[in-house]
Structure 1
Amino acid sequence: MNVTISGHHLEVTPSLREYVLTKLDRVTRHFDQVVDITVLLSVEKQKEKERRQKAEVNVHVKGKDIFVETAHEDLYAAIDQLMDKLDRQVCRHKDRVQDHHHDSLKRQDSAWDAAQ
């Protein structure tokens, strides 16, 4: 798994990098077929009173790319919200991938005939 953490108008400190990596462990624990993860942390200075911290992640899994972004006044809170959203999307993708194993029509018909 390839993890890239970068900052835009922001220096990514070792403590911030470690925080993101510990949060990403939850996602990789649910779904182990992750190929590549790119995290971008940025600061938008639209107004000085309203500094918005923005976090976005792009996860490349087998067959699909998952993109999530959040914004908050606190960067750590933005990362928490980001990982919650990402966790839900990864679990939903995992359920969709695993849900394609249905019984064949022959087995359904024979089971239906046996029931009658």
Structure 2
Amino acid sequence: MNSQNNHEVIVSGIHLELTPSLKTFVREKAERLFRHEERIVRVRVELECDRSAAIGMQFKAKGHIEIHGPDMNAVVQTDDCHKAISMLVDKLDRMLQRRHQLHRVKRNHPHAVELNSTLPKVVT
């Protein structure tokens, strides 16, 4: 892990007991998000287990990134908990990359602003 491990990652489980190894796995995967964007305030990951008889064991991973600007949310559902976490982090990573790309395009291609009123003339 990085030497500056001061990022806030909140991991919670719904109908699922969180083991220390599962928490560590989530934190290690979430470090990739902080490496791409330093202005992330907090990452919250919720892991949910659905044990209905009709579909078998399903795991749902919900991710919420609090960042300067609009927050980002993503949900992934699969039959393996570790796979759901990996897919969630991949999805959040793609969202961060797209956000960064849109900001870069906006920064490099400013648009002209038209003024409707006339400007006063300078008296010399």
**Could you say what the CA RMSD is over the residues aligned between the two structures, in angstroms?**
1.6
Gaps of 5+ in 2: 1-6, 113-124
* Residue equivalent to 2:57: 51
Percent identity between matched residues is: 31
Q: Figure out how many residues of one structure are paired with residues of the other and give that number.
A: 105
Higher gyration radius (CA): 2
Q: How does 1:29-48 map to 2 (within 5 A)?
A: 29-47=35-53
Conserved 8 A contact 2:14-2:49: yes
Aligned to 1:61: 67
Give the helix-richer structure, 1 or 2.
1
Normalising by structure 2, we get a TM-score of 0.77
SS of alignment partner, residue 65 of structure 2: strand
Q: Which runs of 5+ in 1 are unaligned?
A: 106-116
TM-score (normalizing by structure 1): 0.82
AA in 2 matched with 1:76: H
Q: For each residue in 1:59-110, what CA deviation from the matched residue of structure 2 results, as whole angstroms up to 9, or x when unmatched?
A: 01111111011111110011111111111001111112222223575xxxxx
Equivalent residue number for residue 89 of structure 1: 95
